[in-house]
Amino acid sequence: MAEAVIELVRRLSSPPPGAEEPTGLQLPLTAEQRTVLRGRRRTLCGRDVLLQLPRDGALQPGDRLTDGGGGVQVAVVAAVEPLLRVQGTSALELLQAAYHLGNRHVALELHERELLLLDDSVLQQMLESRGLMVSHCERPFLPEGGAYGGGHTHNHTHSHAPS
């Protein structure tokens, strides 16, 4: 007999600093999936869940979700995604690349010496034509939230990049 779908309806408040994280289910989501708060998903161990969350901003890795009774806890984790790693010979080259990608509303994860974006052959060609070094990698994608933070809604990905 199949297990019932778990309906996740709210976020739990963050635990106090130093508190142990409860063990439970993990829900791997791509950057884009973390912006969609409704719909069917699957946990790391294969359990089906149904997101029915209030529309109050994108999910972040580490967010904890629960069912109506609070008996089930599910932790959001950033799923591994195919990315492009962009590197230049100067900070100005990366700044110019970020400008051109931002002009195209491309979600970017910004770092001091590299930019990360979802794998896209057209963007890869554009970046390489500008003399940038572009390589492929697979890792969790944590794009910058943008000028409007997580509460602004477009069809763009919004979340926070690591410091």
Each residue of 74-122: pLDDT tens digit?
999 999 999 999 999 999 999 999 999 999 999 999 999 999 999 999 9
- pTM comes to 0.80
Angle at 35 between CA 34 and CA 41, to 5 degrees: 50
DSSP three-state, residue 81: strand
pLDDT score for 163: 33
β-bridge mates for residue 108, sequence order: none
Each residue of 7-57: pLDDT tens digit?
999 998 766 555 455 557 999 999 999 999 999 999 999 999 999 999 888
Task: Set out the domains of the chain in order of their start, with CATH numbers.
Answer: 6-12+19-78 (2.60.260.20), 80-151 (3.30.70.790)
Each residue of 122-147: pLDDT tens digit?
999 999 999 999 999 999 999 997 65
**Listed residue (115, 116, 95) closest to 31, CA to CA:** 116
Could you give the CA distance from residue 163 to residue 150 in angstroms, rounded to a whole number? Answer: 16
